[in-house]
Amino acid sequence: MRIEVYCGAKTHLQTPAPKDNNTGEAAVLRNMNALCPPSHTSPWRLVVTDRFYTSVKLALELLHRRFDITGTIKTDRSGYAKDVVTAKDFKTVNKKKVMVPPQGTIKLAQNKQFPQLTAAMWVDRTPVDLLSSGGSRKNSTVMVRVECVMRPVPAPELVRDYHRWMGGVDIHDQLRMQRYSIQGCYKSR
């Protein structure tokens, strides 16, 4: 089986392709077609993506194909709820910098036309914006390192799902980049 890695619009195409084929959404859909051809009788599955691939358009297309999606999203994507977007700020209280909004703050917005779609903002060290079509909106907790100690921080269950299924991928990417830089300096005899 051959899986495609999306590296940008102009990376490896020798002939000009239609504009729609050069997006992260199209790459996800092509990979999903290769792995799980569309079927209206297949069980529901969850696709977890990072912010370069996640969009409202992709979420709706995957819902049509019986796939749920959970992923971080760029806040300037078309169709994303602007009400949940929050900027991080600091204020001084008793000569200490305090983050505003505080860690664990949650904002949720549900799409009126498609109630399965949820836009979420959760504050970890910085605001994290997510889009989900299958994650639960129930309150839960996530273990987060705060001042060198692991502490529970309130978060919706869709954040916990994202951490569970995406965490290993992020760690693998970090380790691969570290190994790559070492291999670039290594010279064999």
Tens of pLDDT, residue by residue over 39-59, are: 777 788 888 988 888 999 999
- CB neighbour list of residue 163: distance below 8 Å, 6 or more residues apart: 142
122 falls within a domain: yes
Q: How confident is the model at residue 165 (pLDDT cuts 50, 70, 90)?
A: confident
Please report where in the chains the tokens 């079927």 appear, as a residue: 39
- Owning domain of residue 54: 36-177
141 falls within a domain: yes
Helix orientation angle between 56-64 and 24-35, rounded to the nearest 10 degrees: 20
Residue 14 pLDDT: 47
184 falls within a domain: no
Using the predicted structure, report yes or no on whether residue 184 has a pLDDT greater than 60.
Answer: no
Number of domains into which the chain is organized? 1
140 falls within a domain: yes
- 51: its two tokens: 């912010």
CB distance 44 to 79 below 8 Å:
no
86 falls within a domain: yes
Apex 47 CA angle, 29 and 167, nearest 5: 130
187 falls within a domain: no
Strands 118-123 and 127-132, bridge-based pairing: antiparallel
29 falls within a domain: no
68 falls within a domain: yes
Residue 125 pLDDT: 80
